[in-house]
Structure 1
Amino acid sequence: MKVAIYNCFHWIGYHVTEKCLAEGWDVTGIHPHPNPREEFLMDMIGRNAQFQYKAEVDNVQRERMNYFISIGTPPHSFLGEDKDHVIQIMDELVDDGENEKGYMKLAVPTLVGPWMPLDTLEKRKNENAVVDINDFVNWLFTCIHENTILRSPVRIIGEASERALSLKEGNVIMYRTKTNEEIFRYIEQHKEKFPFYYEL
């Protein structure tokens, strides 16, 4: 499997990139103008033989890719005739007039995990049921493996109680493997392990 990931060193993009590589996929990562934090993540993953970095999307040979995953608005060159394998991940659903394009649009307003900016993390500590980045990425890859790509825009939200994954009124209700306390405790441990990253 070959995948191109736009904004691959965004904290969400980094987790998606790691998962792709763990699955044995060939990854072309695209990230224009990385900041110091993103350059650190580039150094963490750039040595993997199955990873290739491109500074510009124009340098990616589209016809050779099975999937295109974009953190934020996908470049128009991602949106060729075949929309079936384009996935957009964003903080919140935005009516940008692109919904009719037919590709998978996922909003993740309560997503949390290691490497995320501390200001965003603090804001999400008040959410009733946050979604762990690992649960989200595992769900996304289940969709890809089972070819159950959603055609309408949806929001990914957590459920405080244990329940099966379901789709309701434009929301994907996600079963959570950890409580809020467990998720934030894990992130705090990660901050202690990589303090220099969070200080950049």
Structure 2
Amino acid sequence: MTICVTNCLHWIGFHIVNRLIENDYQVDGVADISSESEEELSLMLGRNSSFTLYSNENAIKDTKYSDAVLFHESKQPIQALKTFNFGKDIDKPNSINIELPLLFGEWMPMDEKGVYVNKQYIEFYSTRFQEEAIYINDFVDCFMQWLKVPDLPNNISLTKNKNLQIKEDTLEKQLYIRGNRPIDDQIENLIKHYKKIKNYKM
């Protein structure tokens, strides 16, 4: 089973590709390497024979995939039985549009006091981070289960607030993600990782 991941060297895409490879999936990744950080991530993934990196989508235009994972709007359609879209919503059959929560994890833009999400700086001990942030591995655990579900809703929103109310007329499915470890432990480990790799251009 081969899965295509576009912008696979985005820090979230990297974590998804890494987990797919660990679970014996074949992965075709699409990314244009433009930083030292992306170069390092490509070398880490490239060591595995289950991963192939392409610099653009033209190289895979005739390939058929079981699933596609899009982290940006695709310039041309990628042939897949099911498409997980993390960018602009796609209104097509078998496309699942996922609204990402505030994710944090290794390789993301950050410093020792907080993270950058969509160019916005959020401190670790701010109210927003403490109430909304979900560790990347908890999110990827959830995503790996979605791959096995044949009939997902077309729109999914994620939260760690299980009491959040959704309007009844919305087409969106709200999913609750419970963290597996205390957030302070995850922050501490993330800062340790950051200190090791902070010389890369993030």
Give the structure-2-normalised TM-score. 0.80
Task: State the partner residue of 2:39.
Answer: 39
Identity over the aligned pairs, expressed in percent? 18
Task: State the partner residue of 2:184.
Answer: 181
What amino acid sits opposite 1:190 in the alignment? H
User: Please, which runs of 5 or more residues in structure 2 have no aligned partner?
Assistant: none
Give the drift of 1:36. Answer: 2.2
SS in 2 for 1:149: coil
1:41-60 equivalences under 5 Å are 41-60=41-60
**1:22-53 deviation per Cα after TM superposition (whole angstroms, max 9, x unaligned):** 01111111002432211111111112111111
User: Pick from 171, 185, 193: which aligns with 1:190?
Assistant: 193
Note closer, same or farther for the CA distance 1:57–1:135 as it changes in structure 2 (3 Å cut).
same
Q: Is the 8 A contact 1:6 1:69 kept in 2?
A: yes
The alignment status of 1:120 with 2:116, answered yes or no, reads yes
Structure 1 window deviating more from structure 2 (63-72 vs 135-144): it is 63-72
1:94-133 equivalences under 5 Å are 98-99=90-91, 102-118=94-110, 119-120=115-116, 122-123=121-122, 125=124, 126=126, 127=128, 128-133=131-136
Give the structure-1-normalised TM-score. 0.81
Task: State the partner residue of 1:142.
Answer: 145
Q: What is the aligned-residue RMSD (CA, Å)?
A: 2.6
SS in 2 for 1:65: strand
CA distance in 2, matches of 1:22, 1:63: 22
Task: State the partner residue of 1:28.
Answer: 28
User: Please, which runs of 5 or more residues in structure 1 have no aligned partner?
Assistant: none
Q: Is the 8 A contact 2:2 2:26 kept in 1?
A: yes
Task: State the partner residue of 1:16.
Answer: 16
Task: State the partner residue of 2:158.
Answer: 156
Note closer, same or farther for the CA distance 1:117–1:17 as it changes in structure 2 (3 Å cut).
same
Note closer, same or farther for the CA distance 1:30–1:124 as it changes in structure 2 (3 Å cut).
farther
Task: State the partner residue of 1:89.
Answer: 86
Note closer, same or farther for the CA distance 1:193–1:9 as it changes in structure 2 (3 Å cut).
same
CA distance in 2, matches of 1:182, 1:129: 16
Give the drift of 1:124. Answer: 5.9
SS in 2 for 1:20: helix
Task: Decide which structure has greater helix share.
Answer: 1
SS in 2 for 1:120: strand
Give the drift of 1:100. Answer: 5.1
What is the count of residue pairs matched by the alignment? 186
CA distance in 2, matches of 1:51, 1:183: 28
Q: Is the 8 A contact 1:111 1:130 kept in 2?
A: yes
Q: Is the 8 A contact 1:113 1:133 kept in 2?
A: yes
Task: Decide which structure has greater strand share.
Answer: 2
